[in-house]
């Protein structure tokens, strides 16, 4: 069966916006749920369950629709590297969430779409307009306010956040390169496959000595299901509206993360951190709006995946 690219589907901007808002809400819930589980279980074990569930759903429910076409790829090395980049990002992000407040961790990751601009010309051969560089500067000013000295943020948490940020920069660049030759379904399949392999080999020393109680196991299963649903919503959203239009709405993720961090963990950023988060959000939204108004494709403005 031939896999039809998402870009061939009818455009419906309102549906796209609603789908993106639903996706980032799910991702924020995933971040909060992961942070809760990481206090009890090892990060690799929780992600192993998540990726196993993700891959199982792909194999049982989605792969039969496409047959062998779902595993066929013209650029296997880059497809595998993309899957490993997200798996590594999940690992670093999990350690960051365990050590840092939810809102600050998510805000740091949203520097990634701006940082990717620095790779646009040398890697992708794409021209970056002046407002992209201005937005990057504002975003990095916000980052400095968030991670400033005396911000009461764990040094280890910051290290893992920046490692996660690096993967969040590599991932969309590879996604952009592969989008010209690979289907979305194939790339999603390999994300689940590589994550399952990466965390599966770690199970002998990360699996808990006592089997998790069913409520905790149900939460881990929810991570896998929620992850796939969130990615599916994003895929459907970008099939209905351009990235440049939807980009500003992805920054609702920061707002949701702030609210959930306060609600579930009683973690409220101080006012300087709030200003820094505002800079990051304003820079990202402004860049996306300017790209949209200038009719630029703005594929580089892809938001980071959930942690």
Over residues 260-272, the pLDDT tens digits come to: 999 999 988 888 8
DSSP 4: P
pTM of the full predicted structure? 0.83
Q: What percent of the chain is predicted at pLDDT more than 70?
A: 80
Distance CA 306, CA 24 (A): 8
Distance CA 207, CA 245 (A): 43
How much is the pLDDT for 87?
A: 94
How much is the pLDDT for 36?
A: 95
Average of per-residue pLDDT across 108-132: 67
Distance CA 67, CA 64 (A): 5
Residue 56 pLDDT grade (very low, low, confident, very high; cuts 50, 70, 90): very high
H helices present in the chain, as ranges: 13-38, 43-57, 63-66, 76-99, 102-109, 112-115, 130-146, 155-178, 184-200, 203-206, 214-240, 243-250, 252-265, 271-293
Distance CA 71, CA 188 (A): 10
Residue 128 pLDDT grade (very low, low, confident, very high; cuts 50, 70, 90): low
Average of per-residue pLDDT across 66-81: 91
Distance CA 286, CA 79 (A): 31
Higher pLDDT, 273 or 130: 273
pLDDT at 70 over 80: yes
How much is the pLDDT for 277?
A: 87
Extents of the domains making up the chain:
7-301
Helix (H, G, I), strand (E, B) or coil at 111: coil
pLDDT at 67 over 70: yes
Whether 79 and 187 have beta carbons less than 8 Å apart is answered as yes
| R_g of the chain, CA atoms, integer Å | 19
Q: What percent of the chain is predicted at pLDDT more than 90?
A: 35
User: Most distant CA pair in the chain: distance in Å?
Assistant: 57
Residue 296's region, left for phi above 0, alpha for psi from -120 to 50, else beta, is beta
How much is the pLDDT for 50?
A: 93
Higher pLDDT, 236 or 162: 162
Higher pLDDT, 294 or 157: 157
Whether 96 and 257 have beta carbons less than 8 Å apart is answered as no
Closest CA to 307 of 62, 50, 16, 118: 50
pLDDT at 276 over 80: yes
Whether 262 and 121 have beta carbons less than 8 Å apart is answered as no
pLDDT at 77 over 90: yes
| CA distance between the termini of the chain | 32
Average of per-residue pLDDT across 156-162: 91
- pLDDT tens digit sequence for 167-222: 887 887 787 778 778 887 888 899 999 999 999 999 999 999 888 999 999 999 99
Average of per-residue pLDDT across 153-161: 89
pLDDT at 295 over 60: no
DSSP 7: G
């Amino acid at each position: 069966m031939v896999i039809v690219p998402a870009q061939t589907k009818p455009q419906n901007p309102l549906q796209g916006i609603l789908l993106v808002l639903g996706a980032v809400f799910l991702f924020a819930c995933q971040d909060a749920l992961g942070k809760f589980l990481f206090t009890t279980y090892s990060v690799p074990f929780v992600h192993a369950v998540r990726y196993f569930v993700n891959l199982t759903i792909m194999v049982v429910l989605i792969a039969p629709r496409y047959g062998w076409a779902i595993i066929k790829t013209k650029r296997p090395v880059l497809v595998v590297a993309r899957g490993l980049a997200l798996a590594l990002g999940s690992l670093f992000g999990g350690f960051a969430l365990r050590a840092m407040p939810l809102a600050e961790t998510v805000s740091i990751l949203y520097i990634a779409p701006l940082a990717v601009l620095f790779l646009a010309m040398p890697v992708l051969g794409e021209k970056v307009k002046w407002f992209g560089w201005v937005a990057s500067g504002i975003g990095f000013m916000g980052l400095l306010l968030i991670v400033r000295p005396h911000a009461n943020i764990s040094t280890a948490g910051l290290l893992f956040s920046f490692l996660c940020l690096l993967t969040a920069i590599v991932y969309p660049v590879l996604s952009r390169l592969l989008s010209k030759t690979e289907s979305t379904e194939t790339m999603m399949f390999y994300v689940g496959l590589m994550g399952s392999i990466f965390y599966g080999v770690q199970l002998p020393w990360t699996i808990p000595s006592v089997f998790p109680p069913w409520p905790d196991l149900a939460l881990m299963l929810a991570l896998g299901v929620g992850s796939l649903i969130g990615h599916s919503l994003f895929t459907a959203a970008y099939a209905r509206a351009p990235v440049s239009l939807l980009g500003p709405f992805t920054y609702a993720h920061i707002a949701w993360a702030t609210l959930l961090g306060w609600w579930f963990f009683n973690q409220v950023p101080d006012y300087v951190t709030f200003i820094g988060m505002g800079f990051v959000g304003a820079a990202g939204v402004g860049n996306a709006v300017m790209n949209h108004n200038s009719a630029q494709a703005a594929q580089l403005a892809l938001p980071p995946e959930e942690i």
